Amino acid sequence: MAGIVVVFDFDKTIIDCDSDNWVVDGLGATDLFNQLLPTMPWNSLMDRMMKELHSQGKTIEDIVEVLKRTPIHPRIVPAIKAAHALGCDLRIVSDANLFFIETILKHLGLQEYFSEINTNPGYVDEEGRVRISPFCDFTNSPHGCSLCPPNMCKSVIIERIQASTEGRKRMIYLGDGVGDYCPSLKLKEGDFVMPRKNFPLFDKICQNPLALKAEIHEWTDGEELEHILLNLINTIVVEESAAAQFITTDCKLQTISVSGHEAFPKALPVQQ
Ligand SMILES: [Mg+2]
Ligand SMILES: [Zn+2]
């Protein structure tokens, strides 16, 4: 297992749209959504939209069908599978919701590839309606970060992952949105951030690249994402195996000096 954690944002990073907007638009509820948008927080609005759609007779199957049509670049799935095959620990940190993400991952055959999905809770209730709630209970225990929306500061998750790996794993973070800026600032030296070029995260990073300790590698589409991500992983793997070899050599030298040459088996004569 490589000592690499790859953290993916979901909307406009793994998939090529915003899943919330995709569902709302796909079920013809854009006007109501825009009308309610100024009146309530995003998660409450999405929960309300699911209620409206349910009362209009839209079923879970209708929502699933829309989610199955979510646009995704053809190189994203192979990129994720290749990163996994190289031994990386893959995780999702997203401000979408669990029901949408799991439905799409299942459709793409990717649900086994991620060790963790951190997102707003989303499930189907007993009446067959999707319920969506905020990741962070901002009334009772606000995260207190001024950079992030009240329902989610992705840094809280990144710092937990960093603490759980005790800083032994290198991190590659991929994202596009403003909500990905705060966690990018938490990345350490030796880590990498892959912002989507000309999207809000990239623009924010460009304002002051020195604010980040991580190395910056931008990408435009799934093909570039695949190429850059796999290159970074391979570079880290080569670096790590070189470091491991150095340690092994060092230990052998120590053994020689302690036990002497006699401890080693005699060299076999080379066949002529
Ligand atoms: Mg995004
Ligand atoms: Zn934050």
Q: What is the 3-state secondary structure (H, E, C) of 240-256?
A: HHHHHHHHHHHHHHHHH
Q: How sure is the predictor about 139, in pLDDT bands with cuts at 50, 70 and 90?
A: confident
Q: Which residue has the higher pLDDT, 269 or 71?
A: 71
For ligand 2, the distance from its centroid to the CA atom of residue 146, given in whole angstroms, is: 7
Output the pLDDT for position 262. 44
Q: Is 11 a catalytic residue?
A: yes
For ligand 1, the distance from its centroid to the CA atom of residue 155, given in whole angstroms, is: 15
Nearest to 151 by CA among 132, 137, 168: 137
Q: Is the dihedral of CA 218, 219, 225, 231 positive or negative?
A: negative
Domain ranges (residues) in the chain: 4-228
Structure tokens at 71: 């646009």
Mean pLDDT (whole number) for 116-141: 95
**Ligand nearest, relative to CA of residue 95:** 1
Output the pLDDT for position 268. 54
Question: Of the given ranges (212-216, 218-222, 257-261), which has the lowest mean pLDDT?
Answer: 257-261
Q: How sure is the predictor about 259, in pLDDT bands with cuts at 50, 70 and 90?
A: very low
Count of residues for the chain?
272
CB 87 within 8 A of CB 43: no
What is the rounded CA–CA span in Å between residue 14 and residue 55?
31
pLDDT at 270 over 60: no
In this predicted model, what pLDDT tens digit does every residue of 165-211 receive, in sequence order? 887 899 999 999 999 999 999 999 999 999 999 999 999 999 999 99
In this predicted model, what pLDDT tens digit does every residue of 81-121 receive, in sequence order? 999 999 999 999 999 999 999 999 999 999 999 999 999 99
Output the pLDDT for position 168. 85
Q: What 8-state DSSP symbol labels residue 13? A: T
For ligand 1, the distance from its centroid to the CA atom of residue 6, given in whole angstroms, is: 15
Mean pLDDT (whole number) for 126-137: 96
Give residues whose Cβ lies within 5 Å of ion ligand 2. Answer: 145, 147-148, 153, 155, 182
125 annotated ligand-binding residue: no
State the helix-helix crossing angle for 98-108 and 60-68, rounded to 10 degrees.
60
95 annotated ligand-binding residue: yes
CATH number among 3.40.50.10420, 3.30.70.270, 3.40.366.10, 3.40.50.1000, domain 4-228: 3.40.50.1000
Dihedral pair phi/psi, residue 89, rounded to 5°: -95, 115
pLDDT at 151 over 60: yes
11 annotated ligand-binding residue: yes
Structure tokens at 61: 């199957």
214 Cβ partners below 8 Å, 6+ apart? 171, 173, 184, 187, 188, 189, 191, 192, 193
Q: What is the pTM of this model?
A: 0.89
